[in-house]
Structure 1
Amino acid sequence: MNENEKIDSLIKELSLLPGISNENARKLEAKFRLEFNFNSNHIEGNTLTYGETKLLLIFDKTEGAHDMREFEEMKAHDVAYRWIKELAEDKSYMLIERDIKQLNQIILVRPFWKEAETPDGQATRRQIQVGEYKQHPNSVRLQNGEIFHYASPIDTPMAMHELMDWYYSEVDKKELRPVELAAILHYKFVLIHPFDDGNGRISRLLMNYVLLSNDLPPVIIKSADKKNYLNALNQADTGNLNAFVKYIAQQLIWSLNLQLKATKGESIEDDDDVYKQVALFKKEQLNIYNNKPIKTFELVTKVYRNLISKVIIDLEHKVTVFDDLFEEVQTKYYLKFTQGKTKEELFDNLYSLDTFINTEIDNFYNLDVLNSTEINLNAISWEKEFKSSINEKIANTRFKVQIIFEKRSFIIELYNTSEVFQFPYVQNFTESEITSIVNNLYKGVFEKIQANTQK
């Protein structure tokens, strides 16, 4: 079965399934959004990790030693992606040149200086304008050392006009399959390289505009597969355009398989995710927070008052919505606290926990001679168990939210789920960020109850 047959088979299989649930559709879109933004920018040299990208796009937080421009461009690329999705959803709208210039302005944010090469290969610096066609010749050094020159600044406006005419014509003729039209538009745009910067990212945005407008999922060019991606482009340069179309079709098959899994309610975590997680774990173990403050009682208690107590109170209130589905509901709070030696305190309500912690905080600040590292909150756990559902269809469900205070960071997690958040002690939190954390934990609780319900 060739790529086109496989694509048709997957599309048919999707059409025969019941519609995707709202929750799975949300997860799928979040997956595509994160994968596309991370990989498309990583291909072009952005150094944010997968985890840092997720932290930035979902929680609007910056982490790691990066230039501010890298954070700005990642967020801007996300804006561009969501914009082309909106354009693609309007079936009456036809992409125009002005939109492409707008994409360039969005992803580059503002004018900046960049290292460049003169036409004869000499190093120079050049100010990059945004939203305008290039003002200087641009080129790329090939693997054999030769320099390949793209369309000249003088020829670029006409080349772009001809490209759009070609695109409109192919849309009208409907002779090319959507994946062929998307891949060829990508390649033709790259050949022109109309802007001083951002051409690769825009070529992939335009490609996905075509796919999305044809009700297909976006294609993700994995940064780990950059060598094969560039090789397919090089083959197209030699006249073998089908090689590039085939490569893009293979990536579309990956996206369709992901969409199929999500529609069936299966996990959409792919094999690459474990490598991203390992890379993030390794980076954390090599002291990613080595420039952040070390835990002290003072820092931990500030975090408790500014964030943790608010999260627990809000989440405690939200999950009471499930109480009347069960005959019995039990709630317990555990506190691991070090004062000379580690001890675990048990509390049966939130008020008792909060009173105990705040008493210890007050005692600490009244003891001038006490070093701030001698008393520590090590962990807080909130456990809730729902027993004996009123309709006997929901199994007993127990969940635990843990807040673990480590040396340079603290973790908030819904035990045995993927809802895990890690922050350095210097972090400041807005109300919207706190709400986001609570909502993700609340969602995890609901999913556990839902998973324990008989169909």
Structure 2
Amino acid sequence: MTDRYAVHGTQGEFQPGSNDLVLANKLGIQSVEDMDDLELELLQRLYEEVLVKHLPNRVLTAEDLKTWHRRWLGNVFEWAGQERSVNMGKDGFMFAASAQIPRLLADFERSCLARWTPCHDMDTDALVDAIAITHVEFILIHPFREGNGRLSRLLADVMAVQSGRLPLDYSTWNTDRPAYYQAIHQGLQMEYAPMKWLVAQALSGAAA
């Protein structure tokens, strides 16, 4: 698959028999479709747990993100909930070097999570800013080996629900992937306007 992550390092192991398309896993799954279906089912369970049953209506931490990741994929991958130890890129774009992740996550916790969460009493503009910047910075760090995009959406949804709104409607993001990727890339220059536009679309779509 051309959009799979390029991985460099000893932990870039794939499941035998998967033609290097499925990461090595506890369940011996070799099919991309089977793995996608399982990850989606487990993600739905995580959403139910985090957004419905036990919404964390408090300041979020990097440890929360690790816990969510471990709850989601802990029965599938040995490294679930652990910081990435391999360097990763996608379509020629490199995410943060793995050696920098502990420092970057600490910075992210301080500059984004501690600054904005819980997102109580935020007006729409303030919430858009908070979600957009948090999303971009999390994706640029890419702290986990797999599932960063989906976990970042859960984080955005938690922030929206903390503010009293509905989870975001990501249809615009899904239909115009190039615009989404460009918005992430522009975050390297701390230019967040494109992502703010996408977040505003997702919030208005959820409210419609």
- When normalised by structure 1's length, the TM-score is 0.35
5+ residue gaps in structure 2?
5-30
1:135: Cα distance to partner? 1.3
Partner of 1:190: 139
8 A Cα contact 2:59 2:117, kept in partner: no
- Residues 1:133 and 1:161: Cα distance change in structure 2 (over 3 Å): same
1:154 maps to 99
Which residue of 1 is the match for residue 163 of structure 2?
214
SS in 2 for 1:138: strand
Change over 3 Å in CA distance of 1:158–1:66 after alignment to 2? closer
Give the Å deviation of 1:171. 4.2
Q: Deviations over 1:217-256 (max 9, x none)?
A: 1112223332332233233344431111111101211111
State the 1:183 CA deviation.
1.4
Partner of 1:140: 90
* Change in CA separation of 1:231 and 1:151 when aligned onto 2, cut-off 3 Å: closer
2:115 equivalent to 1:169: yes
What amino acid does structure 1 have at the position aligned with 2:63?
Answer: R
| Paired AA for residue 59 in structure 2 | M
CA contact (8 A) 1:137 1:152 kept: yes
Q: What's the secondary structure of 1:130's corresponding residue? A: coil
What is the percent sequence identity of the aligned residues? 21
Instruction: Give the CA RMSD over aligned residues.
Output: 2.9
Amino acid at match of 1:152: A
Point out the structure with max Rg over C-alpha.
1
Aligned residue for 2:165, secondary structure, equals coil
Q: How does 1:5-16 map to 2 (within 5 A)?
A: none
Aligned CA distance change for structure 1 residues 155 and 238 (closer, same or farther; 3 Å): closer
Quote how far apart the aligned CAs of 1:87 are: 7.4
The Cα offsets for residues 293-322 of structure 1, whole Å up to 9 and x where unpaired, read as xxxxxxxxxxxxxxxxxxxxxxxxxxxxxx
**Paired AA for residue 110 in structure 2:** D
Does residue 181 of the first structure (1) align with residue 181 of the second (2)? no
Q: 1:189/1:88 Cα in 2 relative to 1: closer, same or farther (>3 Å)?
A: farther
Displacement of 1:153 in angstroms is 2.1
Unaligned runs of 5+ in 1: 1-42, 45-64, 113-127, 142-146, 258-455
Asked if 1:97 corresponds to 2:48, the answer is: no
Residues 96 and 141, structure 2, Cα contact 8 Å, conserved in 1:
yes
Asked if 1:203 corresponds to 2:169, the answer is no
Once the two structures are TM-superposed, the CA of residue 179 in structure 1 deviates from its matched residue by 2.0
Total equivalences in the alignment: 174
Contact 2:69 2:81 (8 Å CA) reproduced: yes
Aligned counterparts of 1:151 and 1:231: Cα–Cα separation in 2: 17
Supply the distance in 2 between the matched residues of 1:198 and 1:66 (Cα, whole angstroms): 14
Residue type of the alignment partner of 1:187: V
Equivalent of residue 177 in structure 2, options 207, 216, 226: 226
Q: What is aligned with 2:27?
A: none
Q: What is the alpha-carbon distance in structure 2 between the residues aligned to residue 233 and residue 156 of structure 1?
A: 18
String of CA shifts for 1:408-435, please: whole Å, max 9, x gaps. xxxxxxxxxxxxxxxxxxxxxxxxxxxx
The amino acid that maps onto 1:219 is: L
AA aligned to 1:131 is G
37, 56, 59: which is aligned to 1:71?
37
Kept in 1: contact 2:118–2:162 (CA 8 A): no
Q: Distance in 2 between matches of 1:97 and 1:171?
A: 12
Q: For the residues of structure 2 that align with 1:152 and 1:86, how far apart are their CA atoms?
A: 35
SS at match of 2:87: coil
Q: CA deviation at 1:79?
A: 1.5
CA, structure 1 residues 74+87, in 2 after alignment: closer, same or farther (shift >3 Å)?
same
Aligned equivalents of 2:56, 2:137: Cα separation in 1: 24
1:129 aligns with 2:79: yes
Higher relative contact order (CA 8 A, sep 6+): 2
- Following superposition, the deviation at residue 82 of structure 1 comes to 1.9
Kindly provide the amino acid, as one letter, of the partner of residue 79 in structure 1. Answer: R
Q: Classify the secondary structure of the residue corresponding to 1:206.
A: helix
> Structure 1 residue 110: deviation in Å?
3.5
Residues 94 and 163 (structure 1 numbering): CA distance in 2 closer, same or farther, change over 3 Å?
Answer: same
5 Å matches for 1:288-327? none
* Cα contact 2:131–2:159 (8 A) shared by 1: yes
User: Which structure 2 residues correspond to residues 304-383 of structure 1 after superposition, within 5 A?
Assistant: none
Aligned to 2:72: 107
